Amino acid sequence: MVGEEGVKNTESEVREFSEAKRIVIKIGTSNLTDKSYRLEPRKVEKLVKEIVELKKQGKEVIVVTSGAIGAGIGKLDLKQRPRDIKVLQATAAVGQNVLMSTYDRYFAKYEQTIAQVLITHEDFFDRQRYLNLRNTLITLLKSDVIPVINENDTVAVDEIKLGDNDNLSALVASNLGADLLIMLTDTDGLFTYDPKRSKKAEFISVVDAITPEIERIASAGGKTSSVGGMKTKIQAAKVTMKAGIPMVIVNGGEENIFMRIIDGEPVGTLFMPKKRKMNDREHWILFASSPKGKIKVDEGAKTALVKRGGSLLPSGITGVENEFVSGDPVSIVDAEGVEFAKGISNYSSSDIEKIKGVQSKAIEQILGRKEYDEVVYRSNLVLC
């Protein structure tokens, strides 16, 4: 045991992924490029071959890839990664073409069709776009096509950028209800210290909770040539663990790495969730929706929601913040203002102001109508 609860360095927990059907693979920049950021074809060829082997086992594979900016840096013969957002976007536009043509060339050797899918954060925040994305990806999988996903760096700006493909891969995995997320990097997994800088570094094989100690370890780690680093991988693990999806951080340079994971070999760091997989609606409410306002509740209502699995009734509401309409996603906070749940409101903020603190039977008398007894149905509510 290393540090706090949630950090394990034993292999007492059996890894069993042979039944995993839908697998998301996130490929980091360092797994695709050389030290000068130039795309290295032999690295792409290795990964493509191993992904095809995975497909032969009857697995559905979704690839989330970095490397567009890195490939663009090489193609344009730049000396370093640009800092200006406009230059970054232009570099990504050049590199995306190089990246996808390289993938396509190697997958074509195995007669495997791929599809380019470019995404921004708005594709997750907007419910209709979220559903369209999900339907498109599922259709591609049913057609035996491997979706190759990247953030649309060419059009994304700081306000909407996902910021890295680590978080993107976690959102994609939970969007699709994946059975496993494999996160490739250039290290063997999570260590107590950066193994490139400290001899005291101890390998962490299994994490079953994201504790402050885990976040400290990740924040202290160094960065690779990608935007992310271990910190963003832990952010991604928070999403997958809440969504009930196991995630493995592993060295992409290892041979036959995907089949070794599927066969249960204890490679990389496993982030093992304790809860069941979320359904599509729960995932969108918790991770992808952008709350339009807040509903403040008393301690009794919080207990009913957290401990008894109840719906949110007007009697337990003490206040509301910001304006929203019926059907909008909202944040539910306790008396201290701490968010503990998200949900979809059956009533507008103005209606809730009028009915807060009253019994459900009084709603019609106050509003002149009553569509619902509940302000937020339990089926439309997810605990944070």
Q: Is residue 93 part of a domain?
A: yes
Kindly report the backbone phi and psi dihedral angles of residue 119, in degrees, each rounded to the nearest multiple of 5, phi listed first: -130, 145
CATH assignment at residue 367 = 2.30.130.10
pLDDT value at residue 86:
83
Q: Residue 226: pLDDT band by 50, 70, 90 thresholds?
A: very low
Kindly report the backbone phi and psi dihedral angles of residue 331, in degrees, each rounded to the nearest multiple of 5, phi listed first: -95, 135
| pTM value > 0.75 | yes
Distances (CA, A) of 328 to 1, 191, 333: 44, 41, 16
299/252 same-domain check:
no
Q: Is residue 108 part of a domain?
A: yes
- The total of structural domains in the chain comes to 2
Q: Residue 79: pLDDT band by 50, 70, 90 thresholds?
A: confident
Distances (CA, A) of 162 to 27, 82, 159, 288, 292: 16, 18, 9, 12, 20
Residue 230 has pLDDT above 50, yes or no: yes
170/150 same-domain check:
yes
pLDDT digits (tens, 9 = 90+) for 90-110: 888 898 999 999 999 999 999
197/137 same-domain check:
yes
All residues at 6 or more sequence positions from 239 whose CB lies less than 8 Å from its CB, including other chains: 167, 170, 171, 173, 174, 287
Closest CA to 26 of 316, 219, 200, 235: 235
Domain around 120: 7-282
174/67 same-domain check:
yes
pLDDT value at residue 146:
98
Domain end residue (candidates: 265, 282, 299): 282
Distance of CA 219 to the CA centre of its chain: 18
Distances (CA, A) of 279 to 28, 165, 306, 372: 28, 22, 19, 24
169/117 same-domain check:
yes
Largest CA distance in the chain: 72
Domain end residue (candidates: 227, 253, 282): 282
Q: Could you tell me the two tokens for 229?
A: 């680093």
Q: Is residue 1 part of a domain?
A: no
pLDDT value at residue 6:
55
Q: Is residue 2 part of a domain?
A: no
Q: Could you tell me the two tokens for 109?
A: 């050797």
pLDDT value at residue 3:
44
96/138 same-domain check:
yes
For 6: left if phi > 0, alpha if psi spans -120 to 50, otherwise beta; the answer is left
Q: Residue 335: pLDDT band by 50, 70, 90 thresholds?
A: very high
d(CA 103, CA 44) in angstroms, rounded, equals: 7
201/237 same-domain check:
yes
Domain end residue (candidates: 254, 282, 310): 282
Beta strands at 146-151 and 114-119: parallel, antiparallel or unpaired: parallel
CATH assignment at residue 75 = 3.40.1160.10
269/301 same-domain check:
no
d(CA 276, CA 138) in angstroms, rounded, equals: 21
pLDDT digits (tens, 9 = 90+) for 162-194: 457 898 899 999 889 899 999 999 889 999 887
Q: Residue 281: pLDDT band by 50, 70, 90 thresholds?
A: confident
pLDDT digits (tens, 9 = 90+) for 231-276: 889 999 999 998 899 999 999 999 999 999 999 999 999 999 977 7
pLDDT digits (tens, 9 = 90+) for 345-368: 999 999 999 999 999 999 999 999
d(CA 249, CA 230) in angstroms, rounded, equals: 9
Q: Could you tell me the two tokens for 188?
A: 């063997």
